[in-house]
Chain A
């Protein structure tokens, strides 16, 4: 149960982050030179691997037992609740739906406004945009995989999920941007928020000395609890929006 949920959470979270990074790199490659986009992205990947090599062992080696579970739980709650907050607002129509394709278009328009350097000279703005985009999304991938993988038995499903996400993102990249328009990103991000918040609550509680009555099966109860609560919140917000729209000006 925990294995499957960890793998699902890691795969979805990493996949969506990688997709956002891919949208930025594709936008840079389409409007400037593909070589500069790839160089910026590769430099960011090296930086992410270096950060992962430091964060992972530090998290597992320096903190252990209940404090480790509490640290992991709080980290997952910070990520998961932020995804969940945005997803509830999107489902209620209070925020634009998530779209990597829209990010791709916006990034491309911003880059087109600036003239590229003459041939033969490095395109530093393009490299920096690709580097920053991949680095920021990559750090989030590293932190989520480190947090999910730091608990006992969590490394295998977390890395497996990240590998699945990487393969899927490369596949999307190979057929360019068309799949970006088809993905139900808002719903997928909602699911990631639910899974990360569920794990965050589970681990943080264990870090505070709680012994879950149902063991790992408590994860499903927590998941159902957050699904119900978030759906109620989204419905209440959507109703409030509809009522406000009906009020005559």
Chain B
């Protein structure tokens, strides 16, 4: 089970938690926008920045260990 968890979620909890937070925040923004044009046009860039934040956090937390 540990090997399977490592396979799906990876070696750290920071990354899966970060992905869930990034996608969750994007979903909240979409809900708040009410599918407005700004979300349809800029939502992708916002999600990419949130995903980058999750990656940066996991990389730097791994590097500190």
Q: Are A and B genuine complex partners? A: yes
**Chain A residues near B (Cβ < 8 Å):** 70, 73-74, 77-78, 81-82, 84-86, 88-89, 92, 94, 132, 136, 139-140, 143, 197, 200-202, 204-205, 208-213, 218, 222, 225-226, 229-230, 233, 237, 240
A205–B29 alpha-carbon span in the complex (Å): 12
Taking the complex as formed, is B32 at the interface, i.e. its CB lies under 8 A from any CB of chain A? Answer: no
19 intermolecular pairs with C-beta atoms under 8 Å apart: A73-B23, A74-B20, A77-B23, A78-B10, A81-B54, A85-B59, A139-B4, A197-B51, A197-B55, A204-B26, A209-B39, A209-B40, A210-B43, A210-B44, A211-B41, A213-B41, A229-B56, A233-B55, A237-B59
**Contact among A82, A208, A222, A233 with B11 in the assembled complex (CB-CB below 8 Å):** A82
- For A209, list chain B residues within 8 Å (CB): 30, 35, 39-40, 43
Given contacts A74-B23, A81-B54, A211-B41, contact A89 B59 (CB under 8 A): yes
Interface string of B12-36 (1 = CB under 8 A from A): 1001101110010011001000010
**CB pair B63 A237 closer than 8 Å:** yes
Nearest-neighbour CB distance to chain B for A143, whole angstroms, equals 8
A111–B15 alpha-carbon span in the complex (Å): 33
- For B47, list chain A residues within 8 Å (CB): 201, 204-205, 208, 210
Nearest-neighbour CB distance to chain A for B30, whole angstroms, equals 5
Q: Give the bracket for the number of chain B residues in contact with chain A.
A: 35 or more
**CB pair A139 B43 closer than 8 Å:** no
- For A237, list chain B residues within 8 Å (CB): 59-60, 63
- For A82, list chain B residues within 8 Å (CB): 10-11, 15
Other A-B pairs, 17, CB within 8 Å; known A74-B19, A213-B41: A77-B51, A81-B10, A81-B19, A81-B58, A85-B58, A88-B55, A94-B63, A139-B4, A140-B7, A202-B44, A205-B43, A208-B47, A209-B39, A210-B44, A210-B47, A218-B44, A237-B60
A85–B56 alpha-carbon span in the complex (Å): 8
Nearest-neighbour CB distance to chain B for A125, whole angstroms, equals 17
**CB pair A89 B63 closer than 8 Å:** yes
**Contact among B10, B23, B54, B56 with A70 in the assembled complex (CB-CB below 8 Å):** B23
